[in-house]
A and B are shown apart, each in its own frame.
Chain A
Amino acid sequence: MRGALLLLALCSTLFAADAQFSGRRDLNISAIAMFLVFVVATLGITYWAARRTKTAKDFYTAGGGITGFQNGLAIAGDYMSAASFLGISGLVYLKGFDGLIYSIGFLVGWPIILFLVAEQLRNLGKYTFSDVASYRLKQTPIRTLAASGSLATVALYLIAQMVGAGQLIQILFGLDYAYAVIMVGILMILYVTFGGMLATTWVQIIKAVLLLSGATFMAVMIMYKVGFSFESLFAKAVELKNSDAIMAPGGLVSDPISAISLGIALMFGTAGLPHILMRFFTVSDAKEARKSVFFATGFIGYFYILTFIIGFGAIVLLSGNPEYLDTVKGGIIGGGNMAAIHTSHAIGGNIFLGFISAVAFATILAVVSGLTLAGASAVSHDLYANVFARGRVDEMMEMKVSKYATIALGVVAIILGIIFEKQNIAFMVGLAFAIAASANFPILFLSMFWSKLTTRGAVIGGSLGLFTAIVLVVLSKAVWVDVLGNKQAIYAYGNPALFSVLMAFGAIWFFSITDKSEDAQKEIEAYEHQFIRSQTGIGAEGASSH
């Protein structure tokens, strides 16, 4: 594992260089120490995983041997990004109740995934969700479309995470933005290329445990300070804010169309995120797939309740404390997203601040690794092995391609992360969810549940959904006004999902039922066979085959 040592040496030079040349920020020694422990531990796991990752099945799905409980933690880890930890607690800190509305939207997609798609996905798929979508349809067009949808989602999500990582690390560790982005990129390439899904899963599990325990400790300490009474927590917050607006719905959800549209984007988008869908192939069977979602929903829901307490705790602990207030700009130092970080300092001093900072950094690393693995699989398994080589490719070659793809994605993510440093990227995660909901999800869902779906319908409808989502996001306030500088948004609602998802489903329906070709007839006949497998698991990719 010479790479690891090299990287450690590199890290320490980077930190040292920064300490020398930029006196403007304090280096947070305890944070760096704890983060280095995390890096060493995860690189150790990568080394262990690398020796166990021999086949393509190992690489893409950790050999299918992850248990439901472990996978539930890993899914929760994929979902509890630094953006949701810092962002939601920050939103609660600023707007109170509205933060809760937001987190509920992110949660309710999970039960639907369990009731309708989880086990079918496990029974039909092998490595990527395109396996399911193209099960009885034409490989080339469907995989090309599904892989494009995956790559678009992954790229947008990845850029948002990289930019967030750079900015966060700059504030937390006093490390330069570009160095931070490069370091995140290098570490994620190491995890994924050497350790594949096994290392990515364990990095995710460790991070989820750290994040949940750190957040639990914070919430318990906050509740301890208010005598374990929600009423007195809220009462103190209202008193300090001098307004009870934080206790009621504010402006986050204003008109019903935006509300429904956001709900659809979050719900269907979650069920169309390639890195989340891929996690279902790491367990041995439908039973474990169901358990995964059960545990994931529990951990994610628990986490959102913690962020809600932390947000209110931030109001109580930070308001009126000059140590955390920005006297020039008003509010707290570093903006609302820093609420959880400052609160950790108010609770446990520098040591706990260091721990939470290191956890936030670990969170970013784990999430970008999962994304990169999903993107690399779309390139190697879908585009290379099944489209370009038409399935006639040996496993070793496919794995090689996936490793090159990981490195390429990592480099692209670093470059884009640096380019987008000063850009307004608020729309990117929204767009990723919109694309996942309007292109990936309709194809996946209808391929499993609608016998009359044909290749023509899926390709035209999926493309139109993708296209509509992108166009509406460009015409909405987030891009048209905030990025392009126009005065008024052409598309008035916050989220495109309601229209783009309807467009996708409508077009898939229309172009499928009007498809009278012979191939379409064969695809419809093949549905019964697929349905039996999806319901019973007969013929499904079994548990660890070695």
Chain B
Amino acid sequence: MSQNVYDRVKMNPKYKELVAKRSRFGWQLSFIMLAVYYSFILVIAFSPSTFAQKIGDGVTTLGIPIGLAVIVIAFILTGIYTKRANGEFDDLTHQIKEEARSQE
């Protein structure tokens, strides 16, 4: 790949848009995941009795649906990222590549 292609990509405003959007989105979702996980872990470390509370009259504790929800959230977040990246971000990438090539 010639240096020119890289230079043209660099100058393309769509490239700047792609990088800005994707990295913001990636870091936002990472932050959500980390916040969810570390809140879960820190409740266990500092206040285990919170998760030991029973729901209603049964034996099921609050910790169990919350724990299972962390697993489900992890999966949903990967789905959200994959959907947007494979659609919007890939379309943008495709346009950037086409524009860099067409000027060859």
Q: Which A residues fall within an 8 A CB radius of B?
A: 97, 100-101, 103-105, 107-108, 110-112, 114-116, 119, 230-231, 234-235, 238, 244, 247-249, 253-256, 259-260, 263, 267, 286-287, 290-291, 293-294, 297-298, 301, 304-305, 308, 528-529, 532, 535-539
Contacts and interface: CB of A to CB of B under 8 A. Distances in A.
A301 B71 contact: yes
7 contacts: A230-B64, A244-B59, A247-B52, A290-B85, A304-B71, A528-B6, A528-B10
A1 B97 CA distance: 46
Contact of B58 (A100, A111, A235, A294): A235
A231 B33 contact: no
A290 B41 contact: no
A114 B81 contact: yes
A119 B22 CA distance: 11
Nearest to B77: A111
B44 A249 contact: yes
Interface of B: 1, 5-6, 9-10, 15, 18-19, 22, 25-27, 29-30, 33-34, 36-38, 40-42, 44-46, 48-49, 51-52, 54, 58-61, 63-64, 67-68, 70-72, 74-75, 77-79, 81-82, 85-86, 90, 93, 96-97, 100
B97 A536 contact: yes
Contacts of B63: 97, 100, 247-249
Given A115-B81, A253-B45, A259-B45, 19 more contacts: A100-B67, A101-B41, A104-B70, A107-B70, A107-B74, A108-B74, A116-B27, A230-B60, A247-B60, A253-B41, A254-B45, A256-B42, A287-B90, A290-B86, A297-B78, A298-B78, A305-B71, A532-B10, A539-B1
A104 B41 CA distance: 10
A529 B2 CA distance: 11
Contacts of B81: 111, 114-115, 290, 294
Contacts, number: 162
Contacts of B78: 110-111, 114, 293-294, 297-298
B70 A111 contact: no
Contacts of A231: 58-60
Contacts of B85: 119, 286-287, 290
A97 B75 contact: no
Contacts of A108: 33, 36-37, 70, 74
Contacts of B77: 111, 115
Contacts of B82: 114, 290-291, 293-294
Given A234-B59, A248-B51, A259-B42, A100 B26 contact: no
B9 to A, nearest CB: 5
B36 to A, nearest CB: 8
Nearest to B28: A115
A80 to B, nearest CB: 14
Nearest to A255: B45
Contacts of B46: 256
A286 B67 CA distance: 31
Residue of B25, B70, B71 most packed against chain A (CB within 10 A): B71
A287 B74 contact: no
Contacts of B58: 231, 234-235
B59 A536 contact: no
A118 to B, nearest CB: 10
Residue of A107, A263, A537, A538 most packed against chain B (CB within 10 A): A538
A260 B74 CA distance: 18
- List 6 A-B pairs, minimum CB-CB distance, nearest first: A248-B52, A249-B48, A115-B26, A539-B1, A294-B82, A259-B45
A494 B16 CA distance: 44
A101 B44 contact: yes
B38 A263 contact: yes
Contacts of A230: 60, 64
A253 B75 contact: no
A110 B34 CA distance: 11
A97 B71 contact: no
B75 A297 contact: yes
Contacts of B67: 97, 100-101, 104
B56 to A, nearest CB: 9
Contacts of B86: 287, 290-291
B29 A115 contact: yes
B60 A234 contact: yes
A244 to B, nearest CB: 6
A104 B29 contact: no
